[in-house]
């Protein structure tokens, strides 16, 4: 605003000078000089701000540990480490060296960034964040310069905000901290990593701003050991996928501000979402709300959560509609999966659909068991049978298979290899990596063949059921597990 007024005033003065007969050339020269100076300063500012891009813009949104669900042990461990920072004076008196770095490891979306932000609130620190990729540049020395800059920004921001502590959070640290000498443009990476080591070594117990570096990665194995040695990132906090209780906590957190109908059973949703991260659960709650909104409802129903699970796992419904013949084949394929699923674990089919979603033309969803971390041989064999059943059903009805099963085969092959690794094959306890390729191939094939034969026998005895269910599925597009079981009972009784 001030700029516009001054420009207007200047122009008016010039016109006035010209009108009363002044020689305005010196003014014009002066203006040109001032203008270029202004441009130069601004351009420099632009360079500065793009240089500082992503590195060091303090985030103000405060978040507390109470807003992070399902990570009780990680939070406890982290708080213990942070108490070192909070009880700074005692630490200095006892001559304990300052805690410089905490590294959080775990799968994506489990709340590592949230934990770092909560750590900043807990210690009343300034929070400065960047991602490993912000430090990666083609030009030698730029990454290292950015490392120095983020440390400087953290110190300056803390002084400006009159805080004693600053937390620098570096997400995806593996990008800049891979073992030295491994990158193709290794000189640049090595310089960046060296700069980080130098800055961390420079942190002293009596600095007027205490710095703590928090980093997140899901590839701790790739990290340069120099970074993990005592005195640098010497605390590791594991941030794992949440278990059932954790998922329930996270769901509660993310539905706090959403109107839920009485039908919503979050315990059931938490059971159905084995393997979901916090980010998945947040997205699930959001998608359920969007589905309710599309139906112009004021409250979210349980079925919205049920459908949102499909969406989060498989992706958005697609308009792509296979031709009628393909659709029949998809229905047969999915019914095959469902048949074997019920045989292996009665009551396990949750829903069956021929709606295209994400990369799939249809899918069969299973009711989850309790969170399972150990699998028996029988369980794995049943898994393989369920995976193969789609293709076998196609073969029984059409006499041939289609490409629709390639994803199933991949999973079946993976499971067969897991069985060999776990000593469940005829080879006994062996190392999968040391097995000669053709022997591995033979044993994997044997495992698959055995299950394929079992599936074939079962599906052959349910041929009519396949066709009958296909008709129902094509008509309704989606049938629930209960409906499927009812159809199966009627067939078995006949």
Binding site for ligand ATP (CB under 6 A): 68-71, 108-114, 171, 216, 250, 253, 278-279, 282
- DSSP class of residue 240 equals P
Q: Return the number of other C-beta atoms located less than 10 Å from residue 245's C-beta.
A: 14
Active site residue 172: no
Instruction: Enter the tokens of residue 456.
Output: 């074939």
Instruction: Enter the tokens of residue 442.
Output: 């033979």
CB of 167 to ligand ATP, least distance (A): 14
The answer to whether the CB of 247 falls within 8 A of the CB of 368 is no
- DSSP class of residue 20 equals T
Q: Return the number of other C-beta atoms located less than 10 Å from residue 355's C-beta.
A: 16
Query: Nearer to ligand ATP by C-beta: 111 or 143?
Result: 111
Query: Nearer to ligand ATP by C-beta: 224 or 282?
Result: 282
Query: Nearer to ligand ATP by C-beta: 238 or 411?
Result: 238
Which is nearest to 280 in space by CA: 316, 242, 245?
Answer: 242
Which value, in Å, is the radius of gyration of the alpha carbons in the chain?
31
Which is nearest to 352 in space by CA: 226, 470, 269, 260?
Answer: 470
CB of 225 to ligand ATP, least distance (A): 22
CB of 104 to ligand ATP, least distance (A): 8
The answer to whether the CB of 388 falls within 8 A of the CB of 452 is yes
CB of 358 to ligand ATP, least distance (A): 20
SS3 content of the chain, % helix, strand, coil (to 5): 60, 10, 30
Query: Nearer to ligand ATP by C-beta: 58 or 109?
Result: 109
Q: How far apart are CA 387 and CA 354, in angstroms?
A: 17
Query: Nearer to ligand ATP by C-beta: 148 or 219?
Result: 219
Q: How far apart are CA 129 and CA 172, in angstroms?
A: 11
CA 156, 159, 161, 165 torsion-angle sign: positive
Query: Nearer to ligand ATP by C-beta: 203 or 289?
Result: 289
Contacts with 288 (C-beta within 8 Å, 6 or more apart), sequence order: 258, 300, 304, 305, 307, 308
CB of 34 to ligand ATP, least distance (A): 46
Nearest residue to ligand ATP, by Cβ distance, number only: 278
In this structure, what are the phi and psi dihedrals at residue 152, rounded to the nearest 5 degrees? -65, -45
Q: Burial code of 201-213, b = ≥16 C-beta within 10 A, e = fewer?
A: eebeeeeebbbbb
CB of 313 to ligand ATP, least distance (A): 16
The answer to whether the CB of 265 falls within 8 A of the CB of 300 is no
Q: How far apart are CA 178 and CA 193, in angstroms?
A: 8
CB of 269 to ligand ATP, least distance (A): 15
CB of 366 to ligand ATP, least distance (A): 25
Query: Nearer to ligand ATP by C-beta: 280 or 365?
Result: 280
Considering 188, 282, 287, 334, which one is annotated as catalytic? 334
Which is nearest to 119 in space by CA: 138, 97, 130, 104?
Answer: 104
Kindly list the strands in the beta sheet with 478-480, ordered across the sheet, starting from the edge strand earlier in the chain.
363-366, 349-353, 478-480
Total count of residues recorded for the chain: 494
CB of 280 to ligand ATP, least distance (A): 8
Q: Return the number of other C-beta atoms located less than 10 Å from residue 17's C-beta.
A: 13
Which is nearest to 163 in space by CA: 207, 99, 209, 211?
Answer: 209
Q: How far apart are CA 32 and CA 14, in angstroms?
A: 13
Instruction: Enter the tokens of residue 459.
Output: 């599906």
Catalytic residue set: 334
């Amino acid at each position: 605003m001030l700029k516009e007024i001054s420009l207007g005033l200047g122009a008016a003065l010039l016109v006035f000078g010209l009108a009363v007969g002044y020689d305005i050339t010196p003014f014009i020269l002066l203006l040109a000089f001032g203008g270029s100076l202004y441009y130069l300063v601004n351009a420099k500012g632009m360079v500065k701000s793009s240089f500082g891009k992503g590195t060091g813009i303090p985030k103000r949104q405060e978040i507390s540990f109470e807003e992070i669900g399902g990570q009780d042990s990680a939070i406890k461990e982290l708080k213990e480490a942070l108490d070192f920072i909070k009880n700074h004076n005692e630490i200095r008196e006892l001559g304990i060296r300052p805690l410089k770095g905490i590294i959080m490891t775990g799968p994506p979306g489990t709340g590592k960034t949230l934990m770092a932000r909560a750590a900043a609130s807990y210690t009343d620190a300034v929070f400065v964040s960047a991602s490993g990729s912000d430090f990666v540049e083609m030009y030698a020395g730029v990454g290292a310069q950015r490392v120095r800059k983020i440390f400087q920004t953290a110190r300056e921001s803390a002084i400006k905000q009159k805080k004693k502590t600053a937390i620098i959070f570096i997400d995806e640290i593996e990008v800049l901290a891979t073992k030295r000498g491994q990158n193709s443009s290794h000189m640049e990476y090595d310089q960046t990593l060296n700069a980080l080591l130098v800055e961390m070594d420079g942190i002293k117990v009596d600095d007027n701003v205490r710095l703590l570096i928090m980093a997140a990665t899901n590839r701790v194995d790739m990290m340069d050991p120099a970074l993990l040695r005592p005195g640098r990132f010497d605390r590791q906090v594991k941030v794992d996928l949440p278990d059932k209780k954790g998922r329930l906590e996270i769901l509660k957190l993310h539905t706090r501000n959403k109107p839920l109908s009485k039908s919503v059973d979050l315990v059931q949703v938490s059971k159905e979402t084995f393997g979901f991260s916090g980010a998945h659960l947040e997205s699930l709650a959001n998608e359920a709300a969007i589905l309710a909104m599309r139906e112009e409802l004021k409250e979210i129903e349980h079925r919205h959560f049920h459908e949102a699970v499909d969406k989060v796992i498989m992706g958005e419904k697609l308009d792509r509609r296979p031709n009628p013949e393909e659709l029949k084949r998809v229905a047969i394929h999915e019914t095959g999966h469902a048949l074997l699923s019920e045989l292996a674990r009665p009551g396990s089919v949750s829903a069956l659909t021929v709606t295209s979603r994400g990369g799939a033309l249809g899918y069969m969803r299973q009711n989850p068991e309790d969170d399972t971390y150990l699998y028996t041989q029988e369980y794995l064999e049943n898994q393989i049978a369920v995976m193969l059943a789609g293709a076998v059903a196609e073969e029984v009805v059409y006499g041939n298979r289609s490409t629709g099963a390639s994803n199933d085969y991949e999973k079946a092959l993976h499971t067969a290899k897991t069985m060999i690794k776990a000593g469940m094959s005829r080879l006994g306890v062996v190392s999968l990596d040391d097995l000669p390729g053709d022997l591995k191939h033979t044993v994997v094939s044997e495992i698959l063949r055995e299950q394929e034969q079992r599936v074939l026998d079962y599906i052959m005895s349910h041929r009519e059921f396949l066709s009958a269910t296909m008709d129902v599925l094509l008509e309704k597009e989606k049938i629930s597990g209960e409906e499927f079981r009812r159809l199966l009972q009627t067939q078995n009784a006949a």
